[in-house]
């Protein structure tokens, strides 16, 4: 299933997902994924997201500190724009 289809099935449209991203910088996991009832940019669970990172379907994170992990905004935009397939 393409990521655009997943986004459309969630509470956000693809355009909404694009608008939620800052122009540049980094985003944290709770901004990307569904977190405590709040819809993320990409409506998948945290465990599905980490599985996709391990499998290479989602971008690799950047460690900003000892306990701080984030993703580059441009990598998340590329994921949305590229229509990367999400596991079945």
Band the pLDDT of 87: cuts 50, 70, 90. very low
> Smallest Cα–Cα separation from 57: which of 86, 78, 27, 80?
86
- Provide the residue ranges of all domains of the chain, joining segments of one domain with +: 3-82
Q: Tell me the pLDDT tens digit for each residue of 8-52.
A: 555 556 666 667 788 889 999 988 887 777 777 887 889 999 999
pLDDT at 55 over 70: yes
Residue 13 phi, psi dihedral angles, 5° rounding: -85, 170
The span from the CA of 44 to the CA of 40, in Å, is: 8
Whole-number Å distance between alpha carbons of 37 and 86: 21
DSSP-derived secondary structure letter, 85: B
Q: What CA–CA distance (Å, rounded) separates 74 from 33? A: 16
């Amino acid at each position: 299933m393409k990521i655009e289809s997943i986004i459309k099935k969630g509470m956000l449209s693809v355009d909404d997902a694009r608008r939620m991203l800052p122009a540049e910088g980094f985003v944290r996991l709770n901004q990307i994924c569904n977190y405590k009832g709040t819809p993320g940019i990409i409506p998948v669970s945290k465990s599905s997201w980490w599985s996709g990172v391990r499998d290479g379907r989602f971008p690799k994170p950047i460690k900003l500190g000892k306990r701080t992990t984030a993703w580059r905004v441009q990598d998340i935009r590329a994921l949305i724009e590229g229509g990367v397939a999400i596991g079945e």
